[in-house]
Amino acid sequence: MNLKLLICALACLVHYSTADNVGRDIKISGGTPASLGDLPYQVFVGYNLGNGTYEFCGGGLINSEWILTAAHCFEVKKDVSKAFVILGSVSLNTRPVSVKTIITHPNYISDAYNYYDIALLQLSNPVKESASIGFLNLPTFSSPAVGTLMWTAGWGLTQSGIKPTQLLKVQIPIVAQSICVNAFSDGKYNETYFLCIGDGKGKDTCQGDSGGAVVSKVNTTDTRWTVYGITSYGPEGCGLQGNRGAYSRVFNYLDFIKSNAVTSASSTPHHCSKALIVVLIAFALLLNL
Ligand SMILES: *[C@@H]1O[C@H](CO)[C@@H](O)[C@H](O)[C@H]1NC(C)=O
Ligand SMILES: *[C@@H]1O[C@H](CO)[C@@H](O)[C@H](O)[C@H]1NC(C)=O
Ligand SMILES: *[C@@H]1O[C@H](CO)[C@@H](O)[C@H](O)[C@H]1NC(C)=O
């Protein structure tokens, strides 16, 4: 529960509130610290405001170059030179890396319905999987069954302006769509675009957690986590009794992801050139013979 709130606090700093016009509570109520390697896909997505401060979201690494996050994190902030990412760290003590491309979903309209709240960031330099850095699998079905416990995580703040220090993780269940339809009484919640997740008992994500992946290993024997949701929006006040959150339904956006998150040819040409060298050497040997 605390975890969710903590996550909440993280999210608060971020665009979550500006995009949704929902002022979520920024107080952390508690959480479970994540250990390095627990959720190795988790990245910190920052955006320098140019005056020594930054805003941030969470994100999830889906391959060597691309990070899945929320569109509302970048609705007006699209200057790649101001964006940065921290990978493979729970305490944010490793060097930030640069971003070369920001792609928000073309149908995303801020302050409308929050539909299409999904974005992709491309790292300037590809990374490899390691004990602390891992890739997410994309889902092969729309949602785990109602009741399935999902993991999500984020860096929390105790108050605005205080730097986040520790990644917190929380487990929250998939719940029936009708719960969010009723909870978000503005009539905008639509299950095509979202998953409804939350135990309603205090485990929650919050503004700073926006863009973070909601994952499970349901129906997979893969060691990698599968991403089903992206933290998008929630009611005012994080972690309050009865709260549920709306999480972008990743399965609905597979076309967008697969058509954009294409890794550059670096690894393929590398192998090709290796093969080519082998062939050339073989040829040289043959000629010598
Ligand atoms: C930094 O810039 C942002 C965006 O312009 C502004 O909201 C914030 O108050 C500024 N913070 C400081 C400490 O100047
Ligand atoms: C796992 O897959 C089966 C068959 O596709 C499906 O019926 C079941 O609901 C899935 N389990 C969960 C928890 O989603
Ligand atoms: C949800 O969105 C889908 C796809 O745009 C649409 O067909 C459907 O009517 C919407 N449902 C509600 C309840 O608005």
* Most informative mutation of 108, 178, 190, 196 for ligand 3 (most atoms within 8 A of CB): 190
Residues 192-215: tens digit of each pLDDT: 999 999 888 877 777 678 899 999
Residue given tokens 């599968």 in the structure block:
226
In the chain, which ranges are continuous DSSP H helix?
2-13, 16-20, 177-183, 254-260, 267-288
User: What residue's CA is closest to ligand 1, atom 3?
Assistant: 49
User: What residue's CA is closest to ligand 1, atom 12?
Assistant: 51
Task: Residue 200: name the closest of 238, 233, 236 by CA.
Answer: 238
Residues above pLDDT 70, as percent of the chain? 75
* Most informative mutation of 146, 149, 219, 226 for ligand 2 (most atoms within 8 A of CB): 219
pLDDT, greater one: 145 or 1:
145
Residues 45-81: tens digit of each pLDDT: 999 988 888 888 999 999 999 999 999 999 877 899 9
For 244-255, the DSSP string reads: -EEEEEGGGGHH
For residue 51, give the ligand 1 atom closest to its CA. Answer: 1
- For residues 86 and 88, give the distance between their C-alpha atoms in angstroms, rounded to a whole number: 7
* pLDDT confidence bin for 284, thresholds 50/70/90: low
User: What residue's CA is closest to ligand 2, atom 4?
Assistant: 219
Angle at 226 between CA 30 and CA 145, to 5 degrees: 80
Q: Evaluate: CB of 219 within 6 angstroms of ligand 1.
A: no
- For residues 225 and 154, give the distance between their C-alpha atoms in angstroms, rounded to a whole number: 16
Quote the tokens at residue 109: 């309209």
Catalytic residues: 72, 117, 210
Give residue 268's pLDDT. Answer: 45
- For residues 80 and 234, give the distance between their C-alpha atoms in angstroms, rounded to a whole number: 27
* 93, amino acid identity: N
- Centre a 10 Å sphere on the Cβ of residue 80 and count the other Cβ atoms it contains: 17
Give residue 252's pLDDT. Answer: 98
- DSSP H/E element including 104: strand 97-104
Q: What is the mean pLDDT of residues 256-270?
A: 76
Angle at 188 between CA 233 and CA 244, to 5 degrees: 40
Angle at 92 between CA 136 and CA 247, to 5 degrees: 40
HSE (side-chain half, CA atoms, 13 Å) at 265: 3
Quote the tokens at residue 194: 């979202």
Q: Evaluate: CB of 221 within 6 angstroms of ligand 2.
A: no
Question: For residue 145, how far is its CA from the centre of ligand 2 (angstroms)?
Answer: 7
Q: Evaluate: CB of 76 within 6 angstroms of ligand 1.
A: no
User: What residue's CA is closest to ligand 2, atom 9?
Assistant: 145
